[in-house]
Amino acid sequence: MAATPKPETLAAFEAAKGFMPVREGLALHKAAVDAAALGLPLLEVGTYCGRSTILLADAAREAGVTAVTVDHHRGSEEQQPGWEYHDPTVVDPEVGLMDTLPAFRRTLHHAGLEEHVIAVVGRSPQVAKVWAGEVGLVFIDGGHTDEHATNDYEGWAPKVAEGGLLVIHDVFPDPADGGQAPYRIYLRALASGAFTEVSVTDSLRVLRRVASGI
């Protein structure tokens, strides 16, 4: 499979609601293509409206594996009312809470990728506890507090198969550029000795699992 997505896939990605820039998206897609060769699922923590899911699903489709995405769909802390990334169009008017699941489903439908994705609606630590198998890739892009980032790392990094990839988004070494929680779990992954860095694309870090034990 080509390391770059087809034009229609890239167009669907660019049209989808979300925050990932194209350069980082292309790096994510390349990592997903690499990891999909292991024949294991590709797993994303933090779905929002499915922008990055399109890229994982495209790689999964071509390799004959499945993309899995985990999110409670109530929005992370910075997406709540009064915060910078709040979008009132994804608030459920009946219950008054964010609900990005309908937008996510529309995103996959428009991209023609619904059958290649399993959407798990739940909180990352709970899902990780009941997930028994290995995965070829884990993409961490959930809540950006230390609590949430640490839970995502501790819950999912051990499930990356040897030779598989751990991808972390919004890694900012300089605090002036953004929150530090993803950067801290990135450093923790490197310090563990279980991962080695493969690539850096702006705030996206790709690490390969090279040893057991985290």
pLDDT interval class at 170 (50, 70, 90): very high
What was the pLDDT predicted at 162? 97
Q: Structure pTM? A: 0.92
Rounded to whole angstroms, how far apart are CA atoms 42 and 56?
A: 7
Residue pair 140/167 in contact (Cβ under 8 Å)? The answer is yes
- Rounded CA separation 30/19 (Å): 18
Q: Which residues pair with 165 in a beta bridge?
A: 137, 208
Q: Are 145 and 79 in contact (CB under 8 A)?
A: no
Adjacency order of strands within the sheet including 195-201:
117-121, 67-71, 42-45, 135-140, 160-168, 204-209, 195-201
Over residues 97-122, the mean pLDDT reads: 94
Least confident of 9-18, 70-79, 155-164: 70-79
Contact yes or no for 71/100 (Cβ under 8 A)? yes
Q: Which two tokens stand for residue 101?
A: 């699941």
Active site residues: 144
Q: Rounded CA gap, 20 and 15, in Å?
A: 12
List, in order, residues 6 or more apart from 148 with CB less than 8 Å away.
Answer: 76, 77, 124, 142, 181
- Please state, for a pLDDT cut of 90, what percent of the chain lies above it: 79
Three-class DSSP category at 91: strand
How confident is the model over 75-107, as pLDDT tens digits? 666 665 665 666 677 776 888 778 899 999 999
Whole-number pLDDT of residue 98 = 82
177 pLDDT above the threshold of 60:
yes
Domains of the chain and any CATH numbers: 7-195 (3.40.50.150)
CA distances to 22, 90, 111, 167, 192 from 16, in Å: 12, 13, 9, 21, 35
First to last CA, the chain: 31
